[in-house]
């Protein structure tokens, strides 16, 4: 008995180290993806404008946006099916894994094929150029380009499920590095075509060929490295495939509801205060949302680990993951919020060259929303990764609707900031209360203990960081925005690291931070070289 106990004690830390390695690698590869995307936008946008001109580039963007909605035909299936695959693989149920994979692939191929069968004749016969009032692109060219772009979107449905297999078997970093390589190749190919006078048809064709080629590479790689995985549809069943539609559609509801809230708030801002106010509203929201994108890089890497732990019933590990991740996200978000509170005006002045009028109260309202979301995002990912996402869908819809309504009312008293305050208040009351409570029930944790541990420490941390930053800002010379930004950023980072470690985290949390940091510095070089395999 003593031998068994010692073996189990030794195995637990080893398993946790492997999990930390996968999470660290996944986060690093996601950050790389963000940097590639941002870099591509910075480089390619002016290149498009120089080689094509604003009008032709605008027509390309219009066609791309027009067919992008076809991605909704996925019905959220990719997320739901990959979660199921992850749970089956974690439990070693390979027969069920095969049935789920084959049924999912058959449904994805059927949806993509049906979408193409409808889209191609419609786009060939439709006066696309007249719909969008094109002046540089002819009717025939517009139709062909729209079809090629539509096939890219439709092809991404089965392609996404194939790459999701990596995530299901504990190799998410590898799939993300494949995606990163595709993003780099797409950017390089686009630049070459633009510099060699390539136009819309050649660019759309090259992009479609590239996604098809990467799809073939994925199939070859999976079959070579995992011959036990049958990438076919031989064991698909119609009943199982159709059973995916209803629960997976809730993931679609979450995405659509979030997108509609964003777009509706923009429209309401314009209706209440005009186009100039919309520019300010969107600009400040974009700045505040940068940290949300960084947070999602970590949470998406966590999703397969959450599904695996849930499948094994390791609720104690899920409780630890829930609390620790929420604290890390809040520490990060509080530091970002404090920095933007003090330096938002300087950042906007530098970024827009003084063309945007800064609204401090509006920025503070967006920062309140950022902090609220940082508190419940981990809870929503725990619910979503385990396919218990019905509550997330309901809260997303209710919070968006209530926030927009309350925002219109508050706008009469607080101006443009009132719209954002309405969204923030509804988010705090609905998502900030219901989702953590639902996640705590799922992981068998006491919600009161969770909230007190997370919130009390986070509030104390925010007070200390704010006070330290305020003291530094008072002595930073006015006028030189770049100096102010650098010095304030350094003050926030230093106080955030020190007091995050001492105030926001407890003893076990601090030991995990050390383990994560060690894992990062050990694994980051391997990730950069594409060596992302970690034993499951």
Instruction: Give the C-alpha distances (Å, rounded to integers) separating 234 from 83, 98, 202, 231, 237.
Output: 21, 9, 36, 9, 9
Residue 530 pLDDT exceeds 60 = no
Rounded CA gap, 109 and 103, in Å?
10
Rounded CA gap, 384 and 255, in Å?
12
pTM for the structure as a whole: 0.77
Residue 529 pLDDT exceeds 60 = no
Average pLDDT of 393-397?
A: 91
Residue 491 pLDDT exceeds 80 = yes
Rounded CA gap, 141 and 204, in Å?
11
Helices (H), 312-414: 315-352, 360-385, 390-414
Per-residue pLDDT, 133: 79
Rounded CA gap, 418 and 269, in Å?
10
Rounded to 10°, the helix 447-473/315-352 angle is 30
- Token output for 517: 């940091």
Residue 20 pLDDT exceeds 70 = no
Per-residue pLDDT, 10: 36
Residue 150 pLDDT exceeds 60 = yes
Band (pLDDT 50/70/90 cuts) for residue 12 is very low
Neighbour count for residue 2 (Cβ, 10 Å): 6
Instruction: Give the C-alpha distances (Å, rounded to integers) separating 508 from 323, 354, 515.
Output: 11, 47, 11
Per-residue pLDDT, 123: 87
Q: Are 244 and 81 in contact (CB under 8 A)?
A: yes
Rounded CA gap, 399 and 135, in Å?
42
Residue 19 pLDDT exceeds 70 = no
Residue 18 pLDDT exceeds 70 = no
What is the tens place of the pLDDT at every residue in 426-448?
999 999 999 999 999 999 999 88
**Between these two residues, 283 and 316, which has the higher pLDDT value?**
316
**Between these two residues, 409 and 31, which has the higher pLDDT value?**
409
Closest by Cα among 447, 430, 322, 433 to 386: 322
Average pLDDT of 7-14?
A: 38
As a whole number, the mean pLDDT across the chain is 83
Rounded CA gap, 92 and 224, in Å?
20
What is the tens place of the pLDDT at every residue in 218-229?
999 999 999 999
Per-residue pLDDT, 214: 93
Residue 7 pLDDT exceeds 70 = no
**Lowest mean pLDDT, pick from 225-229, 453-457, 526-530:** 526-530
Domain ranges for the chain:
14-230, 245-446
**Which percentage of the chain shows pLDDT scores above 70?**
90
What is the tens place of the pLDDT at every residue in 336-391?
999 999 988 888 887 776 667 888 899 999 999 989 999 999 999 899 888 888 89
Q: Are 330 and 458 in contact (CB under 8 A)?
A: yes
Run of H or E residues at 526: helix 507-528
Average pLDDT of 186-213?
A: 91
Highest mean pLDDT among 294-298, 388-392, 530-534: 388-392
Rounded CA gap, 513 and 13, in Å?
14
Q: Are 90 and 308 in contact (CB under 8 A)?
A: yes
Per-residue pLDDT, 17: 55
Band (pLDDT 50/70/90 cuts) for residue 291 is confident
Cβ contacts of 249 within 8 Å, gap of 6 or more: 75, 76
Residue 528 pLDDT exceeds 70 = no
Instruction: Give the C-alpha distances (Å, rounded to integers) separating 33 from 173, 215, 300, 465.
Output: 11, 18, 12, 30
Residue 299 pLDDT exceeds 70 = yes
Cβ contacts of 343 within 8 Å, gap of 6 or more: 484, 485, 488, 489
Average pLDDT of 271-296?
A: 79
Instruction: Give the C-alpha distances (Å, rounded to integers) separating 345 from 257, 357, 430.
Output: 31, 9, 31
Rounded CA gap, 478 and 513, in Å?
37
Per-residue pLDDT, 139: 84
Residue 82 pLDDT exceeds 60 = yes
């Amino acid at each position: 008995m003593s031998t068994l106990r010692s073996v189990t004690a030794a195995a637990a830390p080893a398993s946790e180290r492997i999990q930390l390695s996968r999470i660290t690698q996944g986060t690093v590869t996601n950050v790389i993806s963000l940097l590639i995307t941002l870099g591509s936008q910075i480089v390619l946008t002016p290149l498009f404008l120089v080689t094509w001109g604003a009008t032709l580039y605008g027509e390309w963007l219009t066609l791309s946006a027009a067919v992008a909605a076809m991605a909704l035909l996925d019905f959220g299936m990719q997320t739901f099916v990959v979660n199921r695959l992850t749970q089956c693989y974690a439990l070693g149920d390979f027969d069920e894994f095969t049935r789920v994979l084959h049924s999912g692939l058959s449904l994805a191929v059927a949806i993509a094929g049906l979408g193409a069968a409808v889209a191609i004749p419609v786009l060939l016969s439709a006066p696309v150029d007249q719909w969008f009032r094109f002046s540089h692109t002819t009717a025939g060219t517009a139709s062909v380009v729209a079809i090629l772009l539509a096939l890219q979107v439709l092809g991404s449905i089965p392609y996404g499920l194939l790459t999701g297999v990596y995530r299901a078997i504990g190799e998410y970093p590898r799939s993300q590095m494949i995606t990163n390589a595709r993003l780099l190749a797409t950017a390089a190919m686009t630049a070459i075509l633009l510099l060699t006078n390539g136009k819309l048809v050649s660019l759309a064709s090259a992009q479609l060929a590239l996604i098809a080629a990467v799809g073939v590479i994925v199939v070859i790689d999976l079959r070579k490295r995992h011959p036990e995985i049958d990438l076919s549809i031989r064991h698909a069943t119609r009943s199982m495939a159709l059973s995916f539609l209803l629960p997976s559609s809730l993931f679609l509801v979450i995405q659509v509801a979030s997108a509609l809230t964003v777009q509706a708030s923009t429209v309401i801002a314009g209706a209440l205060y005009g186009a100039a106010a919309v520019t300010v509203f969107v600009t400040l929201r974009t700045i505040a949302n940068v940290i949300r994108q960084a947070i999602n890089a970590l949470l998406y890497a966590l999703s397969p680990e959450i599904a695996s732990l849930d499948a094994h019933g390791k609720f104690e590990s899920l409780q630890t993951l829930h609390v620790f991740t929420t604290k890390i996200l809040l520490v990060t978000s509080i530091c970002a919020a404090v920095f933007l509170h003090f330096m938002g005006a300087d950042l906007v002045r530098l970024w827009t060259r003084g063309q945007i009028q800064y609204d401090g109260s509006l920025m503070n309202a967006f920062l309140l929303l950022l902090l609220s979301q940082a508190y419940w995002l981990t809870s929503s990912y725990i619910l979503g990764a385990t396919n218990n996402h019905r509550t997330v869908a309901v809260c997303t819809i209710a919070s968006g609707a209530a926030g927009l309504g309350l925002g219109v009312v508050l706008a009469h008293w607080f101006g443009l900031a009132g719209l954002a305050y309405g969204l923030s208040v509804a988010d705090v009351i609905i998502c900030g209360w219901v989702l953590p409570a639902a996640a705590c029930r799922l992981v068998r944790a006491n919600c009161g203990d969770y909230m007190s541990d997370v919130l009390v420490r986070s509030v104390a941390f925010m007070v200390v960081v704010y006070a330290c930053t305020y003291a530094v800002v008072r002595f930073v010379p006015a006028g030189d925005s770049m100096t102010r930004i650098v010095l304030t950023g350094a003050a926030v980072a230093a106080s955030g690291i020190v007091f995050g470690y001492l105030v926001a985290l407890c003893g076990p949390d601090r030991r995990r931070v050390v383990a994560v940091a060690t894992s990062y510095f050990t694994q980051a070089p391997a990730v950069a070289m594409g060596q992302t395999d970690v034993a499951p």
